[in-house]
Structure 1
Amino acid sequence: MYSFKNDYSEGAHPQILNALIETNLVQEDGYGEDQYSLQAAKLLREKMNDDEVAIHFLTGGTQANLTAIAAFLRPHEAAVAAATGHINVHETGAIEATGHKVLAVPSGKDGKLTPTGIQSLLDAHPDEHMVKPKLVYISDTTENGAVYTKKELEALNAFCKNRHLYLYLDGARLGSALTSPANDLQLSDLPKLVDAFYVGGTKNGALIGEALVICNDALKDDFRFIMKQRGAMLAKGRLTGIQFLVLFRDNLFFDLAAHANAMALKLSNAIQEAGYAFLTPPVSNQIFPILPHSLLDTLHQQFHFFDWEKIDHEHSAARLVTSWATKEEAIDAFIASLKEKVTR
């Protein structure tokens, strides 16, 4: 059965595998100081039009989040996230395990944070008898597949600066966000709008790897010490460096993300034509159609995917995720199964 559970079921793009094989016996320095990691960091700075950002390669999203947040916060400070945010729901208390509380803010179905929502939380933490909110965590795309507009990010940036908060962006699916038809942000906008973010490779064609970008000078010092202490410094750092060099040398990163989005768009168009609504507007490679339980049962016999949220006694929202490797035949097969059930 074909899986629409996630965008990391496959291994890696062939260009990455070939590059790893071709460089396999080249001896290199370790811990991210190899030529490939240095070249990849330089290339990313060029793509961002910013020579001052610090770039560190880590192996996974949870590792990037906990290492960054632990480094950026003092012991009494906390992170603020949407109630649906990854660090609040899907990281097994990793942030709390570093000694920092995650403060959850209710958000709409899109999973976005707003200045108004954050302010309500700040108002509830007025003094030293409670943890001090210091870092605002967002993700693009959100857990529910939505993307932040430039205007929304500018508003969050201005709010956080005014309240002396750090703004941190989880970019596990940043490729999908930046190539979404609903997006008006450029990669080069992010260093101006957030204090730190990461570019996700794991969910966009890499075997492993995220590129953490630290934009705020106040957060850069001694970060490699924190990486080492948290077990985030890979001895064979070349493995992540080579992958990001391949992903960004000829814009492969954006091509793969655009393909994932195109497959999701084709799927969502067919679902809409069949008369079904969505939990959130389908604008990225994660889509959430609301389907009858009888139809979900039928589709589960042929495809793997998650039932995301129960809507009522007869309907639930499913999560369907397309990837850089999703073949159009798989989309066509899902659409054919959908139409067959609908027309019966």
Structure 2
Amino acid sequence: MYSFKNDYGEGAHPRILNALMETNLVQEDGYGEDSFSKNASELIKAKLGRNDVDVHLLSGGTQTNLIAISAFLRPHEAAIAATTGHIATHETGAIEATGHKVITVETADGKLTPDLVKAVADGHTDEHMVKPKLVYISNSTEIGSIYSKKELQDLRGVCESRGFILFMDGARLGSALCSEENDLNLEDLPGLVDAFYIGGTKNGALLGEALVICRERLKDDFRYHMKQKGALLAKGRLLGIQFQELFRDGLFFELAEHANRMAGLIRNALEKEDTRFLTHSPSNQLFPILSNKLIAELQKKYAFLIWEKVDEHSSAVRFVTSWATKEEAVNELIEDFKRMKL
């Protein structure tokens, strides 16, 4: 059984494991004050071309979202997200548990637009309602779409005009930036969003996300928020070593490029077979619509998610490729798809 269920099913890239082993007996300070974490922060700042941002290393995406959003918002303020947004669908009410409402918006492609944000803002008029304050987006989104530079510039514009915070979930940022359809560079992001994070968990690390805070007023006391919510790890070095390895050269991008290339092989093969897709997803997540009979046959050999029912006879499934997906497995899936479809 070969799995295409997610991009965190494997452990970590061997270079990361080797780095952890080689530094295992080096004594370091705790709570992110170790030399590895400090160096990782400097490497990320250098890649961004910005020394005026704060970088914080946290263990996972849900933890990063809930700490960042709850730190950035006052008690009566709320976040705006697409209905498919991770904070709205797959975080067990983590944001709401911190006291902040998530206002969801239906979208065609998982992406928020200025008009959608304006509609929410205009619908919340006084102190009898929560006050929208933060716009939450993901890149890539939960359904595999990516934001263009122009789309982010337009969102930035409406957020500035309304006094909103623009926050980007980057759990799969590597895949988005390495997509063939992408026109963004990592160094563009500090000028477009107020805070974002770089996902390591889904791109070759054992665990870890690197939160980058760009707006000055959002930086205050952030380590206090991390400590209060259990995110300030005594052995913060475990995160620092991993991000140091990912960013000391081009490993972070190499791993994302591999995941995208594997997804591209599957996408191209299925398109040649006239397969319909639930959504356009130029990243490492694919959502083909298959007959239920074909799905049952494929499930005998491969693991993947059934995303949603399309009609009585077909469903959309999700195939996800990772930094470690084997090309032989991809080719075998393609051949089995062609054979079983007949």
TM-score (norm 1): 0.99
Q: 1:1-344 alignment to 2 at 5 Å? A: 1-108=1-108, 110-343=109-342
Q: Deviations over 1:120-162 (max 9, x none)?
A: 1112110000000000000000000000000000000011000
Residue pair 2:262, 2:330 contacting (<8 A) in 1 also = yes
RMSD, matched Cα: 0.6
Distance 1:74 1:282, change over 3 A: closer
- Separation in 2, partners of 1:261, 1:56: 27
Amino acid at match of 1:323: S
Report the alpha carbon displacement of residue 313 of structure 1 after superposing the two structures with TM: 1.2
Structure 2, unpaired ranges of 5+ = none
Q: Which runs of 4+ in 1 moved over 3 A?
A: none
Identity of aligned residues (%): 63
Residue pair 1:268, 1:282 contacting (<8 A) in 2 also = no
Report the alpha carbon displacement of residue 226 of structure 1 after superposing the two structures with TM: 0.6
Report the alpha carbon displacement of residue 33 of structure 1 after superposing the two structures with TM: 0.5
Residue pair 1:265, 1:282 contacting (<8 A) in 2 also = no
Residue pair 1:287, 1:319 contacting (<8 A) in 2 also = yes
Q: Deviations over 1:50-89 (max 9, x none)?
A: 0000000000000000000010000000011000000000
Residue pair 1:55, 1:214 contacting (<8 A) in 2 also = yes
Q: Number of aligned pairs? A: 342
- Separation in 2, partners of 1:222, 1:169: 20
Report the alpha carbon displacement of residue 342 of structure 1 after superposing the two structures with TM: 2.2
- Separation in 1, partners of 2:176, 2:62: 19
Report the alpha carbon displacement of residue 295 of structure 1 after superposing the two structures with TM: 0.7
Residue pair 1:77, 1:131 contacting (<8 A) in 2 also = yes
Structure 1, unpaired ranges of 5+ = none
- Separation in 2, partners of 1:214, 1:183: 23
Report the alpha carbon displacement of residue 280 of structure 1 after superposing the two structures with TM: 1.3
**SS across alignment from 2:206:** coil
TM-score (norm 2): 0.99
Q: Deviations over 1:181-237 (max 9, x none)?
A: 110000000000000000000000000100000000010010000100011111100
Amino acid at match of 1:299: L
Report the alpha carbon displacement of residue 118 of structure 1 after superposing the two structures with TM: 1.2
**SS across alignment from 2:277:** coil
